[in-house]
Structure 1
Amino acid sequence: MRPLSELSLEQARSVRVVLSDIDDTITSEGMLTAAAYGALEALHKAGFLVIPVTGRPAGWCDHIVRMWPVDAIVGENGAFFFRYDRIRKKMHHHFWASPEERQLNRARLDEIEKEVLATIPGAALASDQAYRVADLAIDFCEDVPPLPEREVDKIVSVFERAGAQAKVSSIHVNGWFGAYDKLSMAKTLLADVFKIDWEDAKRSVIYAGDSPNDEPMFAAFPLSVGVANISAFAHRLKSKPAFITPSHSGDGFAELAALLLRAKGAPRV
């Protein structure tokens, strides 16, 4: 991972789309700071397409895409994207799986939930689970005392033994049934809504993240950035981001935004 300062102005000028994780990438210690929100707003006003790509639930995503300065959102690690048409006041939804498939998958996830909570002391259902439509989120440090890494690995193994995918974020283990992830849905959104093909995306998209569930994005996009706290997960990553910010979490995201705005000659935060 090279310092963010080594991202050249020429590379930065090629960026038209900013994709970013939310938890511990845009937020800091669970809070959306003025600096991070201001960075989002400045990027949006400067004409960048700004798209969060998150593990957070559908209920939160509806709020975010309505009320934040963003153009769309990918949620639940790729289960869907939402886009809000502010002129027509209409929300557009695109799900990977049909309602019938999601219902069947939920029954299977309910069994995994029972096993995890019965066999791994200290693990808990994520407090935002009630707002999810496609995945199961197990909290290992957001609202519970942090679990040791070996216990987090046990949670992952329960999902995988049941044939589910499982990804570790900075706060949750998210699991689901379906051949999708953050990258597959981001590519669908870029192509179907914004008419950005994959070859163009590799030149014009930058991705920011902080944890192992961002790894498909780090691997796919030549312009990928980890905020400084990615270092805590570096040993779990086969594919690391190309660049790393000096600062952690939302402050690191603001540093990335400042570089992009400077390259474009746009007003900074």
Structure 2
Amino acid sequence: MRAVTEMPIDVAARITVLFADIDDTLTNEGLLPAAAYDAVERLTEAGVAVAPITGRPAGWCDMIARMWPVAGVVGENGAFYFAYDRTRRRMRRSFAIADAQRAADREKLARVRARILAEVQGAAVSADQLYREADLAIDFCEDVPTLPVSDVDRIKRIFEEEGAVAKVSSIHVNGWYGAYDKLTMTRRFADDILGVDIDAERDRIVFVGDSPNDAPMFGFFPNACGVANVLAFQGRIDAEPAYVAEREGGHGFVEVANRILDARSGRSAA
């Protein structure tokens, strides 16, 4: 991983789309810094399409798509995208799995939930579970005392032993049934809403993330960036970003945004 300041000017100047995780990428210790939100707004005003790509629930994503200066949101690790048409005042929602199958999958996840809570002491269902459409989120440090890595790995194994897909974020282990992830739904969102073929235009797109569940995005986008806290997952992540910020969380995100904006405006000299 190279420093964000080493991203070539010509590379940064041609970025037209920025995707970013939320928790510990846009936030710091659970709070969204004003500087990070301002960076999102500045990118959007400069003509860079911004979309959060998150593990957070549908309830949160509806609000973000409506109220943040973004083109849309991919949520629950790729279970859906939401995009709000401000002219027509209509929310566009697209799900990876049909309604009936999601309902059946939730019943299977209820059994997984019972097993995890019985077998991993200190784990808890995430506080935002009520607002989820497709996955089960197990909290290992957000609202509970931080569990050891061995317990986090155990939670992930239980999901997988039950036939579910499982991904580890900086705060939750998320599990679901279905062949999708952040990248698959980002591809659909980009095509439907942005009119962008990410396979053909990946060098004009930056993804910013911080944790193992961002690995599909890190591996796909050649100019992917990590905020500094991604360094804590070295050796436990399938793919690493090309660049890394000096600072953690939202303040690291601002570094990435500034590199792109400065290059697009011709202010950057290195």
Instruction: Give the TM-score normalised by structure 1.
Output: 0.98
Any conservation in 1 of the 2:17–2:50 contact (CA below 8 Å)? yes
Cα distance between partner residues in 2 of 1:267 and 1:99: 49
Deviation at 1:192, TM superposition (A): 2.1
Cross-structure match for 2:201: 201
Structure 1: 4+ residue segments shifted above 2 A: 198-201
Deviations for 1:76-102, whole angstroms, at most 9, x for unmatched residues?
000000000111110000000000000
Aligned alpha-carbon RMSD (Å): 1.2
Deviation at 1:199, TM superposition (A): 3.5
Cα distance between partner residues in 2 of 1:169 and 1:30: 13
Cross-structure match for 1:21: 21
Deviation at 1:198, TM superposition (A): 3.1
Cross-structure match for 1:175: 175
Q: Is it true that 1:236 corresponds to 2:233 in the alignment?
A: no
Deviations for 1:5-24, whole angstroms, at most 9, x for unmatched residues?
11011000111000000000
Deviation at 1:267, TM superposition (A): 9.5
Cross-structure match for 2:211: 211
Cross-structure match for 2:184: 184
Cross-structure match for 1:257: 257
Cross-structure match for 2:131: 131
Matches within 5 A, 1:1-269: 1-265=1-265
Unpaired runs of 5+ residues, structure 1, are none
Deviation at 1:264, TM superposition (A): 1.1
Cα distance between partner residues in 2 of 1:221 and 1:122: 36
Question: Which stretch has the larger CA shift, 252-261 or 200-209?
Answer: 200-209
Unpaired runs of 5+ residues, structure 2, are none
Cα distance between partner residues in 2 of 1:199 and 1:184: 11
Instruction: Give the TM-score normalised by structure 2.
Output: 0.97
Q: 1:267 to 1:93 in 2, by over 3 A?
A: farther
Deviation at 1:193, TM superposition (A): 2.1
Cα distance between partner residues in 2 of 1:11 and 1:62: 32
Say which SS state the counterpart of residue 151 (structure 1) adopts: helix
Say which SS state the counterpart of residue 137 (structure 2) adopts: strand
Any conservation in 2 of the 1:19–1:51 contact (CA below 8 Å)? yes
Deviation at 1:238, TM superposition (A): 2.6
Cα distance between partner residues in 2 of 1:111 and 1:227: 35
Cα distance between partner residues in 1 of 2:112 and 2:7: 43
Q: 1:91 to 1:187 in 2, by over 3 A?
A: same
Partner letter of residue 185 of structure 1? M
Any conservation in 2 of the 1:141–1:172 contact (CA below 8 Å)? yes
